[in-house]
Structure 1
């Protein structure tokens, strides 16, 4: 295998027309320089310089190989520059899966801001409430609520303290009143979420060490969490949603909280990938970016 320092010496010798001058330029002894040149010629099985007592000139083989040696050294130098630049910027394509509601209404503007900071990064966003198969689908990482069922996956916390909250629009509460305790939900229209054919109609609340699970019902269910939130904003009923999903609606007054004396079900948000080898610099930076913004939303959480 050719040595890079031998190639550098060869190119420098050709540029200076002198082996001793090249040795001084590269800060090596004339003996080391001579040995390097001989080693390179032996490996190439070609004579690169025609030597005499007074001159040193490239042979036809040397002239032919010089272009390749220069290109190889320049390619390596360019690679080093790109790596150095990568310490300040990131590039490439990142394929990301996220839940429909969080992805569309919360994550999307965050990704716009993230790409504005890193304009050489491309994103492919897959929005679905179905859990992406990270081993079969064209997805690098996924942002998901809850811990992954597959223990072989790597889960890194984005919002470990996130919880579900009970909320509805001001118009709904004005028409139907506000529940005072979990049992009151039996008299309310509860907007239900379903996934994989299973309807999530058992909502849990805790007060101190006491946990209470209530069965709820309503006239609407959907497998898209964004639709369930939109129904709630439109005044169609109560919803039991991740705080991260509804924090913006609560701040804007489109939704109001109920049963705030109780804590809703823990709903941690995680970044998931198949193995730690996929935690590239873009992934690490994106995690830090999203984690910081989730923390800002959690500041106003009702259990905080």
Structure 2
């Protein structure tokens, strides 16, 4: 059936800084949810509260309807990666072996995970010599040791080269397709837009948007359609009559909102006006994201907000 991650009214302050404010959203099984926002927006704090590492001032975070601390075998239910830092003298294999002993999975799982994350050849090298991308792969491997139903990843794509990014996209899509809940944070939409199904955008510790990628691209229900026609003026009049808004011409192309591309084609056909070009304006998705996070004050940023002391509340 899967385990949904439900965040309901989470609020947390560190001194005078409100890191998270009445945050509510759900990450569903079988889907990859992108938890997006600028550095310092409260993403890490939220994930830490979900794992019981930070005590919220108010609100709840549950996994399959249960708080993390109340899960019967949390290491086999939730896999999490917050950091790609390891003991420099340990090999990758040793790190995974320590982690698998802690959650009680059999030794053969270490080699399975090393193969899964493409680290078999580097398994017996000390992690102090690993690149950032290799450390990210090992951290993801540690999160997957218990074959968990829920995977929480904090900035997992940071440091990966293009091949690594393609690899993690395929892996995360595979995990979601098997019914697992995948929630990953990032400060860059461009890093994850080909990976995620759903998007949660956070700004200053508050929800700025929740929905699908397509809904984010539409923004406030509008997408900008680029259209060029043999009779620009005639088509412009017809589009306005149909309720669209024409925002002027860029080169030989009109920018139109309030109407879908297929409807533009229907109107042009009815008016017997041949179309030369018809598309959706590129960059609309990224622009929608930037519009949502625009205006974050600098005093809300920095590690003091988005990198809380993870020991706080661990025994609460």
**Could you tell me the TM-score, scaled by structure 1's length?**
0.25
Q: Using CA pairs below 8 Å that are at least 6 residues apart, which structure has the higher relative contact order? A: 2
Larger radius of gyration: 1
> Would you tell me which structure has more helix in proportion to its own residues?
1
**Could you tell me the TM-score, scaled by structure 2's length?**
0.24
